[in-house]
Amino acid sequence: MNVVVEKVLMFNPFALLGVEQSFTLDKTELENKYLELMKAYHPDKVAGVDEASQKLAFMTKSTQINDAYNLLKDDVKRGQALIDLQKDHAHFNENVVKNDFEFIVLQINLREQAQNLSQNFVEAEFNQLQEQAKKLTLENKEALKQAFNDNNLELAQKLVYRLQFLAKLSQEIETLEMNNLF
């Protein structure tokens, strides 16, 4: 099971941090709420507590706060969490993703470009792939924002999947760059 899904099944990260359940979050408010809660539930607060169950409860709450913050500050994970919460935790409909033929073809092409660059690095081709990945990421994040505004969860699912792929591709591109700097 996906880590984000597991965490959403355990608790609602929006409710835990006391922020609006929305894709467009005020990042400053999110951080302030997180810091406020961490001051109250910081692990150091239980240093003098003798009872193990109290320590465990405090540490669990602290971990949940950290997990919720890390989940909500990431656009893709936040989108996935919203879908899970709005669909009563019925996670991705795989048919939505499988029927995204246009993106599947694009994925294959982008993977082939990255693979070719790993074998024969050409800076101009690398720069082009890097820019294409950045552009696609921005376009899909904007489309995801609009999908949530329109309450189109099926499209949001498709876009979250696309953004997950693009995040992995961006990591591969970074690795390619690091490997070819030296």
Residue 55, pLDDT score: 76
Token pair of 35 as six digits:
């810091």
CATH number assigned to the domain covering 3-85: 1.10.287.110
Distance CA 107, CA 91 (A): 22
Domain ranges of the chain: 3-85, 94-181
Residue 100, pLDDT score: 87
Amino acid at 108: I
Residue 4, pLDDT score: 53
| CATH 2.60.40.10 is held by the domain 94-181 | no
Amino acid at 128: Q
E strands, the chain, in order: none
Residue 98, pLDDT score: 74
Give the predicted TM-score (pTM) of the model. 0.81
Q: How confident is the model at residue 167 (pLDDT cuts 50, 70, 90)?
A: very high
Mean pLDDT computed over 170-178: 93
Q: How confident is the model at residue 86 (pLDDT cuts 50, 70, 90)?
A: confident
Dihedral sign (CA 86, 90, 94, 95): negative
For the chain, give percent helix, strand, coil, nearest 5.
Answer: 80, 0, 20
Token pair of 93 as six digits:
């409909």
Amino acid at 169: L
Residue 64, pLDDT score: 93
Distance CA 113, CA 98 (A): 22
To the nearest whole percent, how much of the chain has pLDDT over 70?
87
For residue range 4-53, what is the model confidence (pLDDT) as tens digits?
Answer: 545 555 789 999 999 999 999 999 999 999 999 999 887 777 666 667 77
N- to C-terminal Cα separation, the chain: 38
